[in-house]
Structure 1
Amino acid sequence: MSAKRRSSKKKAPIKLIDRNPKRLSHELRALGFFCLAIFIFIANYYPNTMGILGRTCIQVITTFCGVKGAAALPVFLIVPGLTFLFHSIPIRLLVSASTVSFFCYLILIEGLVHQFSTQLAWPLFPTSGGWIGSTGLSILTHLIGPNGTILFIIMSFFISSIVLFGVSLKRLLIEAANILHDIKAFLFADVTSSDEESALIKKTFHALFFTKKPIAAPAPSLSPKSVPKMPPIKVNETELNPVVVETPFEVPDTLDTNAPAILDDTDLGTVMESSVDNDENSEETIEMTAEQLPIELADEESPAERVTIRSKPYQLPPISLLAAPSKVTLNKGLSQKEIQRQSALLESTLTSFNVKAKVLNITRGPSVTRYELTPGDGVKISKITSLSKDIALKLAAPDIRIEAPIPGKSLIGIEVPNIATDTVTMRHIIQKTSFLSNPASLLSVIGLTISGESVLMDLAKMPHILIAGATGSGKSVCINTIILSIIMKSTPDQVRFLMIDPKKVELALYEGIPHLLSPVVTNPNKAAATLKKWALMEMESRYELFSATGVKDLAGYNQFVSEQQENASEEAPCEYAPLPYIVVIIDELADLMMVAAQDVEQTICRLAQMARATGIHLVVATQRPSVNVVTGLIKANIPSRISFFLQSQIDSRTIIDMPGAEKLMGKGDMLYSPVGSFKPKRTQGVFVTETEVKKVVSWWKKQGSPDYESDLVEIEPISNESDSNAKDNDDEPLLEEAKTLIMSTQYASTSYLQRKLRIGYNRAARIMDTLESEGVLAQYANEKKPRPVS
């Protein structure tokens, strides 16, 4: 029966036409109030669109009520209109009461505006309370004084609310009394209740404010007098868990992963996140998560066992080891007057060169301030970019960078360096983003953009990155930031490092951490041999393993191994072990290219082409971005780049394929161009101190020694004679042919060998020198004549 009644109610038609003449008159009056309110609103803010009547009307209203009264008048016209619609009050009573209360309320409001206005002289200006407000205020203050005026204002407020909204003062007081009664019952009621949810809330409240310990059990050292008299509580373990976790003093969700023993498996988030200011209690919250469990060091393993991954759990370092976040004053460094002055100066400078443009937005970043302007009709972008030197001169800036257009906007950005650069710390970005909760093992902190967005880089998606920068520009700090970010959230079972540091000082701080595959390689000859003989062999062996297990990449293989281990037993153990990511850090590519350019270039190109699926990723850095060091093959296979300050525009084009890096300010100011981006994004890099690195390295060293790969440690360096021997071996087939040719023709010269053997000058000259050393040719008698054949 109930179902039938419900269905009948749903099928009943809704009456949209009401033929009640009284109801219709109410709605017409309400519609009149609405139209009048809209008319006054538009006439107030857009007077040129309402004609002579609108301008005259708003001038009269502004004269009598002031600007503030004219702005508030539409609101007080809408309220009676709503009252006509929703209240069944006699028309005469409603119109008379609403009109009187409305004008009384308006006079009092105008009086308040005039009371707090600074212009008290007569005649009044439109920005004050107007004539109505001034007259009403002066009459009230003379009749009942200031205190009486305040009392009259309060009483008028309640009267107008009762008339216009139909609010009952009696009901209002009753509801307030009921709310106070409920609060009192909640705070001081017995915590034992039949309702489990309410009982849990009450127990949480009492645990927070009436006890110093969790409510599980009192400490034995407390005397009975010191314990509050409360009834005994019987709670099971499932009830206690949410009491401890859901207190207001717990760590926020974004920082729950700071605990070293927790590694979440949530989905991979976005790489770039908006930087939102945290609460002032963020530093206190971080300190709560810094408490770690005692570390149990494993026994020393034999060299033969160090090749495999050990199963001992590691504990991640807390972010309390990092330096406290600095106060990044984004969008707060410039005063309003300074912003207006710079904008006007920029517009006047462009106008003096017959370029019409208007500044629409100003964004202050950590190192530069970007002025976003829109060019006028018919103004070419090239005309603005050609004035960079003139704009820098007018703004008294060392140099400026023009981004035309800004990606995603129809605006041109002019980036002017700040007088003072804000330091961006790693801990600041970790607190603002979901860095620790992100499951990516190779996630790294990069810095902050001009608009304040935190930049995070997942090296597994890059999949390799090329870093270039002059001395002191921040290149080494960026490498330390990448390494420190990875070891802050990844254990040695997840990521291993192969570090190559020909300068012997940049990566020496990381010596001894368990993430290393071998000691830091400082010999350029051994570094070239390590890349050629071990890295390529490791990549090939992993591909063979993937082929045998039927997977495509490292993630699929580790998933396959985890499934096999779950199904394994003592009789049929799992034959496979998980593999970690391998990050190859090359601090200075130029030193390796000087030793064995051909081998290093071929090895890097092959690793960059094929090693992504095997989990091997390259971080290549150089301070000499010339075409001899960063060759075309290397650039083509490493699409992700970071460019710090460079000396020339040619070097900038070598790294990021466009100018701009020569105009950076140094000290971490970078152009970050990840794979797939159309234009590089200007970013202020994170600053990591040596003290922070030492603290994190010390944390890992306490958990065990590194498990070096024996094959990697025993690699012999490449000899310097290898290149020359290779060239000699290449010349052997031509050497016999050249000897036969010379003996048959009795004519020998370098140009003659070039023509006959179709080789270059260098190779022909080298063959001539070899034939001379073997006694086939005599020494030079005359450089203009062919050599005599002996």
Structure 2
Amino acid sequence: MANTKQKSKKTTKKVSDEKQKASSKTATLSKQVGSSDEKRTYPALPYIIGLFALFIVLTFFVPETGFLGAYISKTLLGLFGAGYYYFPFLLILIAIFWKRDIAKGAIRSKIVLALTNFVFLLIVLNTLSAEDPSAYGFALYKFGQELNGAGFIGGQIGALFVNMLGELPTVLLSFLTIFITTVFMFGSTPKATIRAIIKFFREIDFGVEADEDNNNNNEEKEENLTIQPVKKVKPPAFITSDEKNPIQQRFELPDEDDTHKEKSFTQTAERDIVGLKEINREMPWDEPVSDNKQAIHTEHNRKADFHEEAKNINVPILDSSEKLLLDDLSDKAPYIFPPMSLLAQSESDGLTLSENDIQRTSQKLVDTLASFGVQTRVLSTSCGPTVTRYELQPESGVRVKSISNLADDISLHLAATSVRIESIPGKAAVGIEIPNRSVSTVRLHDLLDTNVCKENKSKLFVSLGMDVAGNAVYLDIAKMPHLLIAGATGMGKSVCINSLIISLLYRATPDEVKLILIDPKRVELSDYNGIPHLLVPVINEPKKAAGTLNWACIEMEKRY
């Protein structure tokens, strides 16, 4: 009995295992079939839809399309009524969307938008053209063939909306839905489309107003035979006479009491001269024309007699004190380097450990290694701002691995957070780096105010910091074609970048070094806005950053 029970259990287990395998196989097969269906794009389908749409368009103009054409046209007229003429364009849109968006996976949404657009167009046609927009029934099919309403489908849906909302709200809702679906179908938004339409009509209005102004000015010139200058004279001078000409009327002169107010010609000059804020000068309008020496040739209007000799009209020349010298405006004050007093100085000599502490730790380190059977002696020590390195020389026959394996034990005996053990290249010694109990701050003042930094002639010689031994570290950016600063959070990347920028500000003038700063986080580099070394303001937008980097790459390829 026991044997039969065991056999039955084994057979049931085998059957269950086989069922699980079969179910897993069917699941995998269904997944494969589903994935293959999703991957199918049916490339011939948009062409078939397009040909069918062209055939429907052909039935509009050619009545002799056979039995098939007549049947299709009557059926579509009965279903859609006047919307029958829009139906082929709907099919063409679906074919285009299928061809363009099937790979992106957006074809379903585009088809839904197109069908929604078509349905609400049918609702509008039924509401505006049907004799009774609220009527239901199969009679709508016959009405649609007579182009009365929007056929059976449009009439049924339109009657539903008309009975619920009324005719006017139905039409307004339909137009709004048609507008929104059309905008979304072509990848835009209603807000952007409305802005584009407003901008378009504004440009048309401004163009019409400008044309009217030009026509009015031309008519006035034809009536008054206005004198126009043939060539421009720089700096600009103004023609004067007893009576005001159109130029005087356009640029109204201020009174003597209002010479410090803003004027129309002042604003024009401000747009032409960068950085000029105010122009106040006296224009010699009352000076007689005949007393001036310089003249410009003038001619009458085109409708005047062209054979008449042009009159010479003298133009006043401004005094040298009244001329606008662009060279003087472009002269810049010399760059004054920031004083070293702006940078904080370190209060101590840079050593965070005293000699007694270093000797005590050295002896403790030797004793700890000796307790594990490793005999060493201390050759030298280097105290840095964050760690102190002890150079130990082990006895002959001692492997470095035997010392590095004791890192956890050494940190435990010395009460240190961590210990780094590495062999020193070029020396028969092992370096053990132990973190200092108190970390000293490295001041940029101490790095810049050194003979090494002052004697170097490179404008791109910058201070980087201090190494493990407490020695200042410098680098010349000119010798480094590319530089990548990376690290985890809190490792000092931002401090390093700030050190590089401030070092450049203390060594180079804006004419010698230009900077492009990109700060997408809007945190680190915003304080540098306004310094004269910036080629452009600090860039925070990712799109602008991409364009700026592209320009920098092109500039680099031009130079190198």
Q: TM bucket by the smaller chain?
A: 0.3 to 0.5
Higher relative contact order (CA 8 A, sep 6+): 1
Taking structure 2 as the reference length, what is the TM-score of the superposition?
0.40
Taking structure 1 as the reference length, what is the TM-score of the superposition?
0.29
Greater Cα radius of gyration, structure 1 or 2: 2
